[in-house]
């Protein structure tokens, strides 16, 4: 390993962060039995040495120092290799989202004229950088399954057959030899959390009450939150819920499937935590939460997702969602222009699955035809992305989803205003006291040497609201913003919009 310093100075290696190199080394180490098949012992040693040199910690691990000596004996036979390769193709999901790339800084600049009425014929579209498959995607990493399994085991519900259960997906990679992972689950989660891409500099200027306002202030787009395997797991679970709804196995107002009497109408919805009324109903109830109507509670898998959204600094701990709605779009379905009802507090977020679509924003959005709208700006929502709406982006700008070109699923997570909750609402114990992960994991361990990870992620259940510590934290600002960023560069280019100030 005398050439290790030279390798770490290699221009290709320098393009990646240490966390990315650690994941790459772990992934390639798992695949070494396949990569070294039919190679001579000398070539096997060279390749193994090169893979270990990517991560200095891995190269210094005595457990791996002589692993290449037994590599030839651990290789699967050709029939076994072909069979496992075929199985892996079945588990692949092309709708993956990892890191972003587009130019030097990863963001494209777009300039557009916006008229004074804010409704040009062609909306400005923010160019979304090309998605690149992450290491978590390549490894078919499904931490949701692991965490959900641990929770079910703790609760003694391993064999539960209710709406909260989903058969786990077993994924095998490369070799039939069991290899001890070089990174703990805690470390893997931390590396993935630190590699989430976060865009918070959306700009679209409009004249509101005589003042120029950035109507997108408070909008955030987070990508790389869910691996391809996790996305597939969530989508499959939504299909399970959809079938239960069709069979009548869910409460009456939980599942809704309107008749498709015209283009853009007929989006299927599944509501958990509360029943939201979109328009005045036949009983004269206004839009908002129906406090005397019961729906099914939030499924366990969705609660695991909520804990990740809070733990990974996407939603602040002061605004842990206690309700969600699943939207299942078929081709041509849409969501008309609206501002979310204030029965739900801000911020709230939407996760996108299956296909990319545009979401349109503007203080004034016009209906052009069924499913077609016009407005000043459209933002692409990549598959697996999480869009957070807060501030002006939630309360001044209306938003809508034009008719989608292909099937799409979205899940919107929101926290209810406590005064608007259903009369029989009971807070979920495992959604109380969730805390975000620390930005410096090693420093946190030094400060809390005896505190287990489970306690770091979930504090004790507090029925009467938030603790004093949480209230103090909430008063210091938005929890989704890093307080101690380390080696995290933000995009330098911002989208500029020229605004016509004419009458």
* pLDDT of the chain, 503 residues: tens digit per residue: 445 445 667 777 777 777 677 777 777 877 778 888 888 988 988 888 888 788 766 555 555 444 444 444 444 444 443 444 444 434 333 332 222 333 333 333 333 444 444 444 578 887 654 444 555 555 556 677 767 666 656 665 544 444 444 444 433 333 444 454 567 888 889 999 999 999 999 999 999 999 999 999 999 999 999 999 999 999 999 999 999 999 999 999 999 988 776 676 768 999 999 999 988 878 888 899 999 999 999 999 999 999 999 999 999 999 999 999 999 999 999 999 999 999 999 999 999 999 999 999 999 999 999 899 999 999 999 999 999 999 999 999 999 999 999 999 999 999 999 999 999 999 999 999 999 999 887 766 666 665 444 444 444 333 344 444 444 434 433 334 443 344 444 444 444 444 444 44
- Burial letters 333-354, b for 16+ CB under 10 A, else e: bbbbbeebbebbbbbbbbbbbb
Closest listed residue to residue 89, CA positions, set 171, 196, 206? 171
* CB-based contact 351:385 (threshold 8 Å): yes
At 114, list the tokens: 């916006």
Q: Reduced to 3 states, what is the DSSP secondary structure of residue 481? A: coil
Distance CA 46, CA 447 (A): 41
CA 379 from chain centre, in angstroms, equals 17
Q: Kindly give the residue spans of alpha helices, DSSP state H, lying in 417-489.
A: 441-447, 453-457, 468-474
Q: Kindly give the residue spans of alpha helices, DSSP state H, lying in 118-253.
A: 135-138, 143-155, 185-194, 228-246
- DSSP labels for 295-341? -PPPPHHHHHHHHHHHHTTSS-GGG---EEEEEEEPTT--EEEE---
CATH 2.60.120.590 occupies which residues in the chain?
Answer: 99-481
- How high is the pLDDT of residue 201? 95
Going through 23-162 in order, the beta strands assigned E by DSSP cover: 99-101, 111-114, 124-125, 130-132
Which residues lie across from 325 on neighbouring strands? 271, 412
Beta carbons within 10 angstroms of residue 120's beta carbon? 16
- How high is the pLDDT of residue 279? 81
- How high is the pLDDT of residue 175? 40
Please provide the CATH number assigned to the domain covering 99-481: 2.60.120.590
Closest listed residue to residue 388, CA positions, set 413, 420, 425? 413
pTM of the model: 0.64
Residues 6+ positions from 186 with CB-CB distance below 8 Å: 441, 453
- How high is the pLDDT of residue 6? 56
- How high is the pLDDT of residue 124? 83
- How high is the pLDDT of residue 164? 46
């Amino acid at each position: 390993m005398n050439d290790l310093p030279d390798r770490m100075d290699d221009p290709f290696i320098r393009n990646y962060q240490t966390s990315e190199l650690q994941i790459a080394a772990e992934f390639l180490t798992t695949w070494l039995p396949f990569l070294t098949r039919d190679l001579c012992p000398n070539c096997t040693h060279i390749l193994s040495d090169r893979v270990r040199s990517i991560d200095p910690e891995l190269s210094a691990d005595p457990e791996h120092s002589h692993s290449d000596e037994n590599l030839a004996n651990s290789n699967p036979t050709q029939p076994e290799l072909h069979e496992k390769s075929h199985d892996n193709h079945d588990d692949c999901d092309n709708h993956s989202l990892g890191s972003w790339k587009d130019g030097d800084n990863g963001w494209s600049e777009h300039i557009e004229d916006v008229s004074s009425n804010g409704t040009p014929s062609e909306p400005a579209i923010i160019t979304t950088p090309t998605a690149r498959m992450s290491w978590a995607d390549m490894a078919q990493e499904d931490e949701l399954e692991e965490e959900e399994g641990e929770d079910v085991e703790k609760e003694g519900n391993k064999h539960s057959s209710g709406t909260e259960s989903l058969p786990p997906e077993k994924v095998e990679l490369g070799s039939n030899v069991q290899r001890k992972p070089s990174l703990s689950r805690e470390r893997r989660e931390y590396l993935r959390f630190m590699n989430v891409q976060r865009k918070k500099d959306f700009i679209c200027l409009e004249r509101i009450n005589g003042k120029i306002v950035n109507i997108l202030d408070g909008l955030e787009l987070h990508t790389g939150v869910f691996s391809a395997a996790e996305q597939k797991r969530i989508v499959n679970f939504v299909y399970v819920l959809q079938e239960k709804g069709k069979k009548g196995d869910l409460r009456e107002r939980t599942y809704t499937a309107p008749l498709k009497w015209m283009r853009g109408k007929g989006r299927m919805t599944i509501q958990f935590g509360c029943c939201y009324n979109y328009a005045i109903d036949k009983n004269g109830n206004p839009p908002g939460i129906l406090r005397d109507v019961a729906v099914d509670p939030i499924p366990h898998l969705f609660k695991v997702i909520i804990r990740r959204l809070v733990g990974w600094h996407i939603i602040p701990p002061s605004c842990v969602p206690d309700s969600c709605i699943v939207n299942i779009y078929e081709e041509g379905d849409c969501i008309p222009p609206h501002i979310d009802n204030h029965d739900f507090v801000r911020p709230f977020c939407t996760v996108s699955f299956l296909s990319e679509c545009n979401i349109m924003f503007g203080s004034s959005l016009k209906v052009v035809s069924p499913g077609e709208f016009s407005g000043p700006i459209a933002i692409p929502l990549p598959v697996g992305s999480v869009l957070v709406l807060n501030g002006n982006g939630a309360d001044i700008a209306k938003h809508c989803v034009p008719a989608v070109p292909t099937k799409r699923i979205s899940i919107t997570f929101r926290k209810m205003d406590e005064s608007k909750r259903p009369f029989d609402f009971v807070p979920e114990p495992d959604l109380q006291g969730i805390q975000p992960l620390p930005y410096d994991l090693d420093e946190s361990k030094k400060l809390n040497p005896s505190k287990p990870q489970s306690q770091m992620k979930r504090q004790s259940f507090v029925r009467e609201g938030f603790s004093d510590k949480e209230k103090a934290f909430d008063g210091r600002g938005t929890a989704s913003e890093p307080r101690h960023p380390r080696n995290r560069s933000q995009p330098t280019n911002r989208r500029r919009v020229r605004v016509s100030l004419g009458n």
